[in-house]
Structures are given as structure tokens and as C-alpha cells.
Amino acid sequence: MDDLLLRERAVNIRESIIEMITAAKSGHPGGSLSSVEIMVSLFFGGVMSYDPKNPQLESRDRFFLSKGHAAPVLYSTLAEAGYFDKSGLNTLRQLNSPFQGHPDMRKLPGIEASTGSLGQGLSISVGCALGLRLKGLNSHVFTLLGDGELEEGQIWEAAMAASHFKLDNLTAIVDRNRLQIDGFTEEIMSLEPLTDKWRAFGWNVLELNGHSFDELIPALKKAKKRGDKKPQVIIAHTIKGKGVSFMENVCDFHGKAPSEEQAKIAYSEIKECDVQ
């Protein structure tokens, strides 16, 4: 897909994120904005195989949002992909809305698992990858992890299992924006040396700029066509709140909605956002 069209998708998704969180007056903009290019690459960069008209198609690739609090980026990406109408997005977090604070697989098509409690998505992905392989399907499993989430012990249980079971149909992507609710990851609970940790657990490790389509798309495409009997992790270096100057690298916007005024500024900046 043309780079310009990908950028347009990213702009649309960022706008939707701001719009729905502003309307809800609550939600998680920071970690949603940081993972926009990752999501656009997966869904519109010719990486994942899926059919919004047949969301349960057995041969589809699976995407698990382990960092479930980034639900706004998932909702707007799935809407952009045609799973459901965009008009519902502004009911985010309201009573009776299918757009729950954290993703509920029973309420919307395209959501592969109910997530939100951190640390559990990689285990689900391991189970799903095992199941797909057992069925003889070539489907690939992609999982988006938050970096703060890696502090959960269960992540490393799952990491151990993925390499033990030689899951080369599983690719994890770490949204490495270096911030968690209480501050910088390296101040709250150091993750570094992060690539060494994954390597020691038996994973293929790749680091890249998580806002660059030029880096993301070829890497993700290549990740899908492995046969090396090893799981792969992509450490995607990103900026929390990417695209909105007053949110970028600001811890407060992990889980705070912008005001109406701030949203207006955000919309104008998003259009100018240089993702490279």
C-alpha cells in the first residue's frame, strides 16, 4: 500500500482515538497513540490476512491486544478496517456500549480475546498458536504488548513456553514507549537490558522505530514467513502520546482524557504529524 494512504489511515485512527476519549471523558490516549503505526502496519500494510465480513474465518491471522487499555486504538483500527461502523465509537465507556473500557470479545467482531488485565495476552497467544499449529493452519499470531506490562511474571512464563514449544507462528510486538502510569519504566522497574532478556528466553529479537512504516512493514511481513522454530519479538521504539505535542512523553496522559480545548489542538497537530 502507498505510504500516503498508510499515513491517512494513521491520521484517521489518531483522530478517532482523541474523539472517542474526549467524548468519554476517560480512557488511555498515551499508549493508544504510541501504537498507531504498529496497528496500521498490521492491518493495512499487507501483513495480516483477515476478512471483516467473515471475522471468524478459520484461516485468518490472529491479533491479540495484550495491553488492553489501548482499546481505543484497537476500536478505531477495526472500524477503519470495516468490522463495524465508526459512528459507535463515541459511545466508548458508556453504559450499554459494546465499546467497553477494555476490549470484550463478546461485544464486537474482530476482537480475538477479552483483555485488560495486564500480562495475560502472551499466554493466550501461546495457546492459540499451539492450537493453530495442531490444526495444521498457516495462520500467524500477532500480539501487542505494553512495555510496562513486561513487569508481570506471567509474561515470562509465557515467553519460556513459546520458545519451549518452538512457536515460529507467533510474533510479539512490544510498544516500547518507556512510560507506565507512575513514571518511566526504568525508574519504576527497570526492563533493560530488554533485548538480552528476550534473547535469553530463546526468542528472535528485532529492534526498530515503531513509528516508521518503512521499518515496521517489511519486518512484520518477514516475521510471518519464518520457519526457524523460534518465536519472534519486535521491540518497537515509540513515543507515548505520539502526534499530540502536549501528550508526548507525558506520563499524565497514560490514562487521562483531553479537554475539549485540548482535543481541538490535538486534531490540528495530528494532521501535521510526521510519523517517520
Partner 1 sequence: MKATREAYGEALLELGRSNDKVVALDADLSKSTKTSLFAKEFPERFFNVGIAEQNLIGVAAGLSLAGFVPYASTFAIFATGRAWEQIRNTVAYPSLNVKICASHAGITVGEDGASHQSIEDIALMSVIPNMTVLVPADSIETKSMVNWAYQYNGPVYIRLGRMGVPDILSENYNFDTKPFVLKKGKRIVIFATGIMLWKCLEAIELLKPYNVEPTLVNVSCIKPFPEESIIEIAKEHEIVFTAEEHNVINGLGSMISSTLSRNYPMKVYFIGIDDRFGTSGKPNDLLSYYGLDANSIKEKLLLLGLK
Q: How far is the CB of 108 from partner 1 (least distance, A)?
A: 12
Question: Which lies closer to partner 1 via its Cβ, residue 17 or residue 113?
Answer: 113
Output 44 or 198, the one with its CB closest to partner 1. 198
Query: Is-cis flag, bond preceding 193, omega within 30?
Result: yes
Please tell me the distance from the alpha carbon of residue 98 to that of residue 232, in angstroms, as a whole number.
Answer: 33
The CB-of-62 to partner 1 minimum distance in angstroms stands at 8
* Minimum CB–partner distance for residue 132 and partner 1 (Å): 5
Tell me the residue type at 115: T
Query: For residue 138, what is its C-alpha cell?
Result: 498457516
Joined together, the cell numbers standing for residue 170 give 507467533
In the bound state with partner 1, the residue whose beta carbon lies nearer, of 154 and 212, is: 154
Contacts of 153 by beta carbon, 8 Å cutoff, 6+ apart:
119
Q: Pinpoint the alpha helices (H) of the chain.
A: 3-24, 29-33, 36-44, 71-81, 121-134, 153-164, 185-188, 194-200, 213-224, 260-272
- Cα R_g (the chain), whole angstroms: 17
154 contacts 162 by C-beta, under 8 angstroms: no
Q: Under a CB-based contact definition with an 8 Å cutoff, are residues 204 and 26 in contact?
A: no
**How near is the Cβ of 159 to partner 1 at its closest, in Å?**
9
Give whichever of 98 and 218 is closer to partner 1, judged by the CB atom.
Answer: 98
Q: Where does this chain bind partner 1 (CB under 8 A)?
A: 58, 62, 104-106, 112-117, 119-120, 122-132, 134-135, 153-154, 157-158, 160-161, 164-165
Q: How far is the CB of 189 from partner 1 (least distance, A)?
A: 18
CB nearer partner 1, residue 130 or residue 250 = 130
Q: List Cα–Cα distances, 72 to 31, 98, 119, 225, 266, in angstroms.
A: 9, 12, 19, 29, 16
Q: For residues 42 and 162, which CB has a smaller minimum distance to partner 1 in the complex? A: 162
Instruction: Report in angstroms how near the CB of residue 154 gets to partner 1 at its nearest.
Output: 4
